Amino acid sequence: MSIRHADHRRRAALFLGGVWFSGAAWLLVTPAGTRLLARLGLGLPAAMRDGWGPVVMLAAPIVMWVIAVYDGAAGAASERAR
């Protein structure tokens, strides 16, 4: 495996991990997720529920998608240039 392919796989794993993290965060702020956390004796910080948390949770997937599209386009352009 060449170094270029390893870099592509690392970036893909990073983006996929970000998507999984965002999905888990969304599940935790749903009413069912909040009840589960309460049963476990855990709670979300107030800022996550009421402050900037909802804004960040809406913006994060969009930002990750834009970065992934840019990365894919830049990688394809780089491959075509060779």
Q: What is the pLDDT of residues 5-56, one digit of tens each?
A: 667 788 888 888 888 888 888 887 778 888 888 899 988 887 777 777 777 8
Question: Residue 15 in contact with residue 68, Cβ under 8 Å?
Answer: yes
For residue 1, the model assigns a pLDDT of 47
Q: How many Å apart are CA 41 and CA 57, to the nearest integer?
A: 23
Residue with token string 């909040």: 34
pTM above threshold 0.85: no
pLDDT at 39: 93
Which value, in Å, is the radius of gyration of the alpha carbons in the chain? 18
